[in-house]
Amino acid sequence: MLKGSLFLILALMVGAAPAATKPAATYDYYSAGRLDAARPGATEGALMLLGGGDWPVPAFRWFVEKMGHGHLVILRVSGADDLQQDFLEEIGGAASVETLVFHSRSAASDPRVLEILRHADGIFFGDGDQSNYVGYFKGTPLNALVEEHVRGGKPVGGTSAGLAILGAYSYGAMDGGGLVSADAMRNPLGGGVTLVRDFLHLPYLSRVITDSHFAIRARWGRLLVFVGLLASEQSDDGITGIGVDEKAALCIEANGMGRVYSIGRGFAWLVRPMRAPDSIAKARFNFRGVPVVGIGAESGIDMSSFTVTRPSFELKVNVVNGEFDAPSSAALKAAAVTPSPEPTAATSRKWTLAIHGGAGVIERGDLTPAKEAAYRASLAVALEAGRKVLAGGGASLDAVEAAIRVLEDDPLFNAGRGAVFTAEGRNELDASLMDGATRKAGAVAGVTRTRNPISLARAVMQNSPHVMLAREGADQFSVEQGLPQVAPDYFRTEQRWQQLLDWRRDNAKLLDPTHSHGTVGAVAIDVNGHVAAGTSTGGMTGKRWGRIGDSPVIGAGTYAVDGNCAVSATGSGEYFIRASAARQLCDRIAWHGESVQAAAAATIANIGDIGGDGGLIAIDGAGSIAFAMNTSGMYRGWVRSDAAAATAIYSNEPGPQ
């Protein structure tokens, strides 16, 4: 956990003592971190909709990435600095955190408050009473600044009441916030149905009303009433409701693609009838055949069309005479059932690991029995290194690194020891690593003295503000990080040197068709559902002019996103870069709902269409493994929590069952 020193600074009234000591205080102010620090990275527009309760940490880390690891401002209408403390202890990664707790509408016009908002790289609305958010903020300079912040390509999020105000329409809780579904369905025009319009205007939410604490407080009925009432009132069949469960977050990219992070089993619930109810009156509500779609960790949503890929569930519900009919009620409750607490023994949860050692023209009979046995044995050792990590409850990132380190140390493979030579007779090594939970990544290119380049890639990810370092700078960083260094001749093998001499005699000659693409890589999912991917290589024999292939390029040779996929590639790197191979595979899953195997095959086919060859390994958010290649072989292996380790070389060997 990241723990920062927390400094309490109470807002000052002009010529007065600290504001927190006076009943007339209009706001309280808290801060921590370096307020004057430069933002380390670029910001991206994004929305984070949290349903309340505990924070799903990966969602907040995603939000911090969108802030460029800059300055977060938390807006509240009650409480103190507890959310700020939670952020510092559980999330971290921001240059600073400031909290403004509002006690009156006038504070939303205070010059000091507005200056703080202008400085923000991310804005987050906390919990509390949404009627105060509406009363204090709507139509104020602060309201305008939040929208200006979003237009500037910076992220906004909210939880609980802070989520409720993010849509174009919101439940204002002007009745005290006590509206329950039964009362709303009994009289949709009752005094408790207090809807707010024309408050915030955020991308993709222009026709949306949101709700929080969704399933646990059975808010399905009231959201249906809100949607039906607005559709009728606005004469707009496109009015859409989005309810978010406690401990869940719907995170929406600038391009409108969204996904859910949750602790345990939580969803975003999409309510989009595409029509108004038959009638709206001060009478019991009726609304039949309303579609309700569950967006879970395995799902994706395109907010521009509200299209859901891999929905967790799809229901049609009926409100009849002011209540859900029996089948609808049962279906909603069944969809919302949260399993008993997760098992505490790590071995009771599933995990999976897959590795590769490169692809090539590998026909049966090309390898001697001894050479084939050696390859399979080496793959088995790498699988065992990763298996030990995962079986012990360790992280996918650690398992991927452990497996690749074994392959880097093995002279059979073109990575680390055993790497091929450049035209000048040097070994120049590339590697990359990506954490699907945080989408952090690290990569190195052209390094010459680090024994295990994959560990250097991890150090770049964890201990620098950068993603890729190259050549002398990467070598220097490795020394400063205290990673094991070796003399350049450590990487040399006689076989690789002879390949270089052969290449020098005939540059066009294919030196070793059974290992023409000698990259190594690994993908894994751990007991917590987090994925990771890594790739390491010596490149290609005779490479010149500082050539860098796909292996260290995030999105080409390596990519990982929780709930979606993790990919490591091997092949003619220029083509994998041009095809954005690793990212393409994950996008096929997220955008088109393809299975991981179908996405892997289609990606390799796309690479083949432009002239490239090679292979890749992938794993999806459920732990399913895929191998794909357009060569006749790829050194590969896999192991799962419920199955023994296995290896394969030839393209027609059976894969995971």
Distance separating alpha carbons of residues 103 and 119, to the nearest angstrom: 22
For the purposes of burial, counting CB atoms within 10 Å of the CB of 1, is it exposed (0-12), middle (13-18) or buried (19 or more)?
A: exposed
In this structure, the number of other CB atoms found within 10 A of the CB of residue 419 comes to 27
CB 167 within 8 A of CB 133: no
Count the alpha carbons within 13 Å of 587 in the hemisphere toward its beta carbon. 11
Q: Is 631 a catalytic residue?
A: no
Active-site position among 140, 194, 352, 519 = 519
What gap in Å lies between CA 111 and CA 319, rounded to an integer? 49
Rounded CA separation 145/118 (Å): 7
What are the start-end ranges of the H helices in 541-643?
573-578, 581-592, 596-609
Q: How far apart are CA 131 and CA 178, in angstroms?
A: 12
Q: How far is residue 352's CA from residue 622's CA, in Å, rounded to a whole number?
A: 9
Q: Point out which residues pair with 301 in neighbouring strands.
A: 258, 308
**429: its two tokens:** 């090594």
Apex 562 CA angle, 271 and 434, nearest 5: 150
Beta strand 531-537 with 429-435: parallel, antiparallel or unpaired? antiparallel
Report how far apart the first and last C-alpha atoms of the chain are (Å, whole number): 39
The Cα–Cα gap between 607 and 589 comes to 17
In a 13 Å sphere around the CA of 272, the CA atoms on its Cβ side amount to 16
Per the CB < 8 A criterion, the answer to whether 339 and 609 are in contact is no
Structure token digits, residue 357: 């050692």
- Helix 581-592 to helix 596-609 angle (10° resolution) is 130
What is the number of other CB atoms lying within 10 angstroms of the CB of residue 453? Answer: 33
Distance, C-alpha 107 to centroid of its chain? 36
Give the pair of three-digit tokens for residue 576. 């994998």
The neighbour count for residue 595, using CB atoms within 10 Å, is 14
Query: Nearest Cα to 323, choosing from 200, 225, 229?
Result: 225
CA distance 418 to 403: 16
- Tokens 């450590």 label which residue? 490
Q: Rounded CA gap, 380 and 376, in Å?
A: 6
410 close to 384: Cβ distance less than 8 angstroms: no
Q: Are 352 and 638 contacting, i.e. CB atoms less than 8 angstroms apart?
A: yes
β-pair type (122-125, 71-76): parallel
Strand partners, 560: 566
Backbone angles phi, psi at 438, to 5 degrees: -115, -10
- The values of phi and psi at residue 40, to 5°, are -65, -35
- Short-list 133, 136, 141, 190, CA closest to 167: 133
Catalytic site residues? 519
